[in-house]
Amino acid sequence: MKPINVGLLGIGTVGGGTFTVLKRNAEEITRRAGRPIRITTVADKNLELARRVTGGEVKLSDDAFAVVADPEIDIVVELIGGYGVARELVMKAIENGKHVVTANKALLAVHGNEIFAAAQKKGVMVAFEAAVAGGIPIIKALREGLTANRIEWLAGIINGTTNFILSEMRDKGLPFAEVLKEAQALGYAEADPTFDIEGVDAAHKATIMSAIAFGIPMQFDKAYIEGISKLDAVDIAYAEQLGYRIKLLGIARRRDEGIELRVHPTLIPAKRLIANVEGAMNAVLVQADAVGATLYYGKGAGAEPTASAVIADLVDVTRLHTADPEHRVPHLAFQPDQVQDIPVLPIEDVVTSYYLRMHVEDKPGVLADITRILADSGISIEALIQKEAAEGESHTDIILLTHQTVEGKANAAIVRIEALPVVQGRVTRLRMESL
Ligand SMILES: NC(=O)c1ccc[n+]([C@@H]2O[C@H](COP(=O)([O-])OP(=O)(O)OC[C@H]3O[C@@H](n4cnc5c(N)ncnc54)[C@H](O)[C@@H]3O)[C@@H](O)[C@H]2O)c1
Ligand SMILES: N[C@@H](CCO)C(=O)O
Ligand code: NA
């Protein structure tokens, strides 16, 4: 059995995990793949690290470009990250007729259209299971398992770092910065952790899922993105009191008018399975017309969970690399000429329900003024709490949960509420999904 030769670019968290798992489970993986998958060369600019992780068993290089040009290499595994050098390396690998496996969601969400077009032209595969929800086989599920269905929407906890932060803050009352440091030490966070905290990483993943769920191009630049940095602990507590959990969700939903593609902190009924996904765990809920709802749960980050997905792709590529390109699973699940340019809707056109918190003067008539504005805007109220003002305080909190409405209408109503003299400061608005 002639081995298939792999060039591994980047041997950090995921690269290290990939090397270790491939070695540990080599025998079983070979039995599945039909031939040995051999890491021939590892390229990392940190040669000392590469030596330590590999024990010097394979060829080492600090020049990743030499590896993508090496005629011996059949598959390039890109685990460097970012869209600078990683993009150049992936494009070069494709140009050189090599298959690519990558965990790089940033690269695919931003440059995927160009990369998949080049791969299609060259007849090579670009596999990316590790790019979304780490070890959870969600790409496989969306692209192959659900092909009978019209997918209606999907919603996921797809960033381990922020879910870990939200869980630890809620359960242990730990401060944000401390939990973030822990997430970084555990290898969950991106090189630039603002990508995690500000929702960018989740938006990369939601963009990729939207493309394969609906057969649309990557439209990351159209995604609405709001992270957890402005989330107030008081809203987490009020949400609990109302029977909700706040999670950073990535949502992609098909509507007649277009696609909703958004990432934001979201109130979810506490009884839902997905509301109970804690720590660095990920979960993706998919609603499809024939099968109904399916839920995918597991580790979305970390060395070996992510390596699990990278190696699954390596096995897929090994099994399929001699197949006629036409007989392979299309990169974006739909045949390339069937990808449709459905627009992503602006956030003002999104339909959802809202949690609104306002700090108001504690006097008669205030609530009536606020509810009148909402009624005038055609927004109905689902639940309401008015806190009693604390001893000696003239102001108190009102929390309102609304029924579904168009975001533009909610924005206009919020502006009017904020203009009331009895309302102090800004209205805090969080979106809610019943899922
Ligand atoms: N860490 C996770 O849990 C996780 C999960 C899913 C996907 N990912 C993605 O996997 C990729 C890698 O992430 P990571 O956490 O392993 O990162 P990392 O920083 O731990 O590893 C990156 C490695 O690439 C090397 N490198 C950087 N520039 C290089 C260059 N020009 N040439 C050669 N080597 C170079 C670094 O020295 C480092 O060893 C990223 O795209 C990330 O988004 C990570
Ligand atoms: N930084 C990412 C890694 C997995 O893609 C996360 O926290 O989920
Ligand atoms: Na995955």
Domain 138-299: which CATH class?
Answer: alpha beta
Residue stretches of the chain with pLDDT short of 50: none
pLDDT of residue 169: 84
CATH tag, 4-136+304-338? 3.40.50.720
pLDDT of residue 371: 96
Pick the catalytic residue: 172, 181, 205, 409? 205
**Residue 230 token pair:** 């402005």
Question: Ligand nearest 42 Cα, by number?
Answer: 1
Measured CA to CA in angstroms, residue 300 lies from 188, 211, 261, 277 at distances of 9, 19, 20, 11
Residues with CB under 5 A from ligand 3 (ion): 129, 132-133, 136, 138, 309
Q: What is the pLDDT of residues 193-221, one digit of tens each?
A: 999 999 999 999 999 999 999 999 999 99
Query: Is ipTM > 0.95 here?
Result: yes
pLDDT of residue 146: 98
- Any atom of ligand 1 within 6 Å of the Cβ of 11: yes
Could you tell me the distance, in angstroms and rounded to a whole number, from the CA of residue 15 to the centre of ligand 1? 7
Mark whether 205 is an active-site residue.
Answer: yes
- Distance (Å, whole) CA 42 – CA 64: 8
Please state the three-class secondary structure of the chain as a single string: CCCEEEEEECCCHHHHHHHHHHHHCHHHHHHHHCCCEEEEEEECCCHHHHHHHHCCCCEEECCHHHHHHCCCCCEEEECCCCCCHHHHHHHHHHHCCCEEEECCHHHHHHHHHHHHHHHHHHCCCEECHHHCCCCCCHHHHHHHHCCCCCEEEEEEECCHHHHHHHHHHHHHCCCHHHHHHHHHHCCCCCCCCHHHHCCHHHHHHHHHHHHHHHCCCCCHHHCEECCCCCCCHHHHHHHHHCCEEEEEEEEEEEECCEEEEEEEEEEEECCCHHHHCCCCEEEEEEEECCCEEEEEEEECCCHHHHHHHHHHHHHHHHHHCCCCHHHCCCCCCCCHHHCCCCCECCHHHCEEEEEEEEEEECCCCHHHHHHHHHHHCCCCEEEEEECCCCCCCCEEEEEEEECCEEHHHHHHHHHHHHCCCCEEEEEEEEEECCC
Every domain range in the chain assigned CATH 3.40.50.720: 4-136+304-338
- Distance (Å, whole) CA 280 – CA 301: 7
pLDDT of residue 264: 98
- Any atom of ligand 2 within 6 Å of the Cβ of 135: no
* Torsion on CA atoms 272, 275, 276, 280, rounded to nearest 10: 150
Every domain range in the chain assigned CATH 3.30.360.10: 138-299
Tokens 């998958």 found at: 37
Every domain range in the chain assigned CATH 3.30.70.260: 351-432
- Any atom of ligand 2 within 6 Å of the Cβ of 428: no
**Answer CATH for 351-432 from 3.30.70.260, 3.40.50.150, 3.40.50.300, 3.40.50.10780:** 3.30.70.260
